[in-house]
Amino acid sequence: MTMATEQEVDHPLELAVALPNGSAGAAILSAGAGCFALGVLAVAGDASKSMAHWLTFYKPTGPLSGVSSTAILLWLALWLILGRLWRSKTVAIARVNALAFVLLLAGVLLTFPPFEDLLLRK
């Protein structure tokens, strides 16, 4: 599945109007993926003591410090990569939105304690 196609701009004056949507798509998709990563890391931190230990970047805050910092780093890295790849492209933004929103909702669900308990069979 290819989400990006080359954007053609015939006249420089049309640049402002025909600004490719690739940068917006990269920002939206990476935000969804970052939230999903946070949800996955939150579950991982609760699932095993060694993971919780590994995710403890700052002891007083506990595993939350590593969960949030790692998710933020992943979000920013993905944003940087997709932003560069899609900067001058027009992407299938409806599909990007849908995928990003599914990732965001999955992230919300993964952080919801009853769902997490169900997943970890606590």
Partner 1 sequence: MQVTLRELATAAHGLLFGGFFLFAIFGVLVELVRSAHVKGASDLTARGCSLARVYMIATAGLGWAAVLLGAYAVYPWYRAIPPAGAADLSLYPQRLLLASATTSGWHSLGMEWKEHVAWFAPIVMTMAAYVVAKYQGSLRTHPQVKRGLILFTTTALLAAGVAGFFGAMLDKAAPIKGGGTITLMRSAK
Residues of this chain that interact with partner 1 (CB under 8 A) are 16-19, 21, 23-25, 27-28, 30-32, 34-35, 38-39, 42, 58, 60-62, 64-65, 67-68, 71-72, 75, 93-94, 96-97, 100-101, 104-105, 107-108, 111-114, 116
The least CB distance from residue 100 to partner 1, in Å, is 7
**Least distance from C-beta 62 to partner 1, angstroms?**
6
Question: Of 10, 20, 30, 32, which Cα lies nearest the Cα of 86?
Answer: 20
The rounded distance, in Å, linking the Cα atoms of 35 and 78 is 12
Residue number with CB closer to partner 1 (4 or 21): 21
3-state class of 60 per DSSP?
A: coil
Non-local CB neighbours of 101 within 8 Å, separated by 6+ positions: 32
